[in-house]
Amino acid sequence: METVILTTYKIPGLPMPIKIASTIEPKKEQIYNKLIELLNQYNIEGDIQFKKLLVENENSMYIYELGEKRCMVLVEKLEKVKEFDV
């Protein structure tokens, strides 16, 4: 079974979650760097600190604190349904 990795960034201050699909699961450092990039892109300020990693059925949730608020990054392994030609 082929899988696709869907990484969802839920950041306080953004109206919608940001979803990124890939074929390779991102590493913790890559998730953190992308989170910093998104915070800078949307001019969201505050100290970011990793708090917890939850893992269940090959899915992971990274929880970060951004000042008083929480950011969540969900990494899901999904079955590839259809492949498009690029």
Summarize pLDDT for 76-86 with one digit per residue, the tens: 999 877 777 77
What are the backbone angles phi and psi of residue 24, rounded to the nearest 5°?
-120, 135
Q: Quick one: pLDDT at residue 31? A: 96
What pTM value is reported for the model? 0.87
Are the C-beta atoms of 39 and 11 separated by less than 8 Å? Answer: yes
Q: Quick one: pLDDT at residue 46? A: 86
- Give the whole-angstrom CA distance, residue 84 versus residue 12: 33
Could you tell me which residues are beta bridge partners of residue 56?
59
What are the backbone angles phi and psi of residue 62, rounded to the nearest 5°?
-100, 130
Amino acid residing at 80: K
Q: Higher model confidence: residue 20 or residue 68?
A: 20
pLDDT surpasses 70 at 1: no
Locate all alpha helices (DSSP H) within the chain, ordered by sequence. Answer: 28-41
Residue 59, SS3 per DSSP: strand
